[in-house]
Amino acid sequence: MKREYQKWWSPALEREMELLIFGHSGRKVLVFPTRGGRFYEYEDLRIVQRLASQIEQGEIQLFCIDGIDAETFYCFWAHPSGRINRYQAYEDYVINEVIPFINEQNQHPELISHGCSLGAFHAANIAFKYPKIFTELMAFSGRYDLTLNVEYFSDLFNGFYNEDVYFNTPTHFLPNLSCPKQLAEIRNLKITLVIGQEDPFFQNNLDLCHILNQKDIQHNFYVWEERAHTGYYWRRMASIYFK
């Protein structure tokens, strides 16, 4: 399996950013790490190993990027407005640096936005906001409203709310989305959402599915038994849904 490491200075983030590429051709997969995860997390979780056959056969190529959650949503010493501003800089990095790099490396027409846990939030949020860039969204064990208080998961903005939080919360901005062009582009996405029945964000996933149904956005929604919120389950999910 081809494995390639890349690093460059990001103008958007004003720091060095790293990523790993697995494979040589096929459908492009942009992989966001989980909360606090790094660009090598997908390899550490052995999900790359589980997808090895498809990668080696040139069916998919993974682009595993770094996360900066300690500078954004989990930077609790900073004011919430600063956290969301830093996240928007991360989004700028993904859209204007990572995506062009991916398309330069691989001209395959399909690009999948993918992640697990908080990575699923990143994957879904960016795909719903920029649907023209992607052809597919695949999100495992996602949380699509960072303002929720569920179990030991707190509101990541500490009660703060503004337009930036609104437009980066899929279950908030999607119900009011009325732009025909953006809706049409979202409807063109192949959407796969997977969640455990005992996952703390199971209801949030149901809410998202309800919103998608209201907007006539087709999607696949799969419910697994138990909590299903660990690498053990994500490996199994990846082997099933990346077919």
- Interatomic CA distance for residues 155 and 214, integer angstroms: 26
pTM of the model as a whole: 0.97
DSSP string, 77-117: TS-HHHHHHHHHHHHHHIIIIIHHHHHHH---S-EEEEEET
pLDDT tens track of the chain, all 243 residues?
999 999 999 999 999 999 999 999 999 999 999 999 999 999 999 999 999 999 999 999 999 999 999 999 999 999 999 999 999 999 999 999 999 999 999 999 999 999 999 999 999 999 999 999 999 999 999 999 999 999 989 999 999 999 999 999 999 999 999 999 999 999 999 999 999 999 999 999 999 999 999 999 999 999 999 999 999 999 999 999 998
- Interatomic CA distance for residues 32 and 114, integer angstroms: 6
For residue 196, what are its two tokens? 């455990």
- Give every CB contact of residue 174 below 8 A, 6+ residues apart in sequence: 128, 208, 211, 212, 215
Category of 138 on φ-ψ map: left (φ > 0), alpha (ψ -120 to 50) or beta: beta
For residue 28, what are its two tokens? 């492009």
Domain count within the chain: 1
**By C-alpha distance, which of 172, 163, 155 is closest to 211?**
172
Q: What is the pLDDT at residue 243?
A: 84
Q: What is the pLDDT at residue 58?
A: 97
Backbone angles phi, psi at 212, to 5 degrees: -60, -40
- Interatomic CA distance for residues 240 and 104, integer angstroms: 28
**What CATH number is attached to the domain comprising 146?**
3.40.50.1820
The answer to whether 98 and 30 are in contact (CB under 8 A) is yes
Give residue 223's domain range.
3-241
